[in-house]
Amino acid sequence: MLRYQTIPVTPFQQNCSLVWCDQTMEGAVIDPGGDLPRIVDEAGRRGVTPRQILLTHAHIDHAGGTAALAAQLGLPIVGPHEGDQFWIDGLAEQARMFRFPPAAAFAPTRWLHDGDTVQVGRSELQVRHCPGHTPGHVVFHSAEARRAFVGDVLFAGSMGRTDFPGGNHDTLIASITQRLWPMGDDTVFIPGHGPESSFGRERRSNLRRRHLSIRPRSGPCIASANAGNRAGTARHGSPDRRPRVAQSGTQQPVRGRAARDLRRQRNLACSWRRSSSSIFNLGSDREQRRARMPAGGIDLAVQMGFAKKAVISTGAPRSS
């Protein structure tokens, strides 16, 4: 059976996952973005022998430690899809831009494609190509363990950003609905940031909420916010991620649930304004509610303008 442990790494608290076969204790490191001693120590503590590095995509918080870890342990680099070549080429620049430790580009030992499989000991991971956040983004699915490691495609209560080179909102939606949902409602996914969730829960709440207009019981207030959302589509290609607040002056008083929706939209709008320079999605209201942050990491992320305080959740490793 496939086992795993999530190890949040880098100032972005990216969920690096150590996965292994509990029969052979051979393992793989998914998305070693940084903090390599923590990853290596965890493998040692659990008696896992890492045999390969698996990459979902080549953003700095996911791939920044790849070259160093591959060199340190002599591991092959498997993935992502070659659509992310330009992100790999730009790793050193990404590290400078986001004030990460220096990161080197690398040549994957094997590119991955939709329908490929990856062997971890006696366990098998199915590969699905899920572009939209980045062109070469892949996810790893263990049918036996009912788990999927989805990087920045989908989060609990939110989904990956699409407003940077190679991103595409419609493509991301198609990846989620056509390649993740068929894995089954009871499949638990490990996102690139924040807490785990299941596809069933997100299918019922997350995307549904995004694609339904939030209509007030009365008054034009939230409808205007929706219009703002549509304007956001043209500018950022990511309407649901950047809710706009209705202009004041023409509003009727809003009460009850509609008022709560509006307050939530205002908070999110603030959050997006502050994190607008980030290429990474770190925010959702659900994550904020669940947030349990170690002080150092989040403070740095806030200083860097990546995230609103308490947006990124959980500092403790989670075990399957």
Q: Which residues bind Zn ion (CB under 5 A)?
A: 59, 61, 152, 192, 280
Rounded to the nearest whole angstrom, what is the least distance from the CB of residue 161 to Zn ion in the complex?
A: 7
Question: Residue 125 corresponds to which tokens in the numbers above?
Answer: 């991971």
In terms of CB distance, is 24 or 85 closer to Zn ion? Answer: 85
In terms of CB distance, is 123 or 281 closer to Zn ion? Answer: 281
Rounded to the nearest whole angstrom, what is the least distance from the CB of residue 158 to Zn ion in the complex?
A: 12
In terms of CB distance, is 19 or 159 closer to Zn ion? Answer: 159
Question: Residue 19 corresponds to which tokens in the numbers above?
Answer: 């996965």
Rounded to the nearest whole angstrom, what is the least distance from the CB of residue 216 to Zn ion in the complex?
A: 34
In terms of CB distance, is 8 or 228 closer to Zn ion? Answer: 8
Taking every pair of C-alpha atoms in the chain, what is the biggest distance, in angstroms?
66
Rounded to the nearest whole angstrom, what is the least distance from the CB of residue 138 to Zn ion in the complex?
A: 12
Q: Enumerate long-range contacts of 176-179, CB under 8 Å, 24 or more apart.
A: 176/130, 176/132, 176/207, 177/207, 179/114, 179/128, 179/129, 179/130, 179/139
Rounded to the nearest whole angstrom, what is the least distance from the CB of residue 150 to Zn ion in the complex?
A: 11
| 86 membership: H or E segment, kind and range | helix 85-89
How buried is residue 259: exposed, middle or buried, by Cβ count under 10 Å (0-12/13-18/19+)?
middle
Query: Under the phi-then-psi rule, with left for phi > 0, alpha for psi from -120 to 50, and beta for the rest, what region is 35?
Result: left
In terms of CB distance, is 167 or 216 closer to Zn ion? Answer: 167
Residues 6+ away with beta carbon under 8 Å from 51: 26, 27, 28, 75, 76, 120
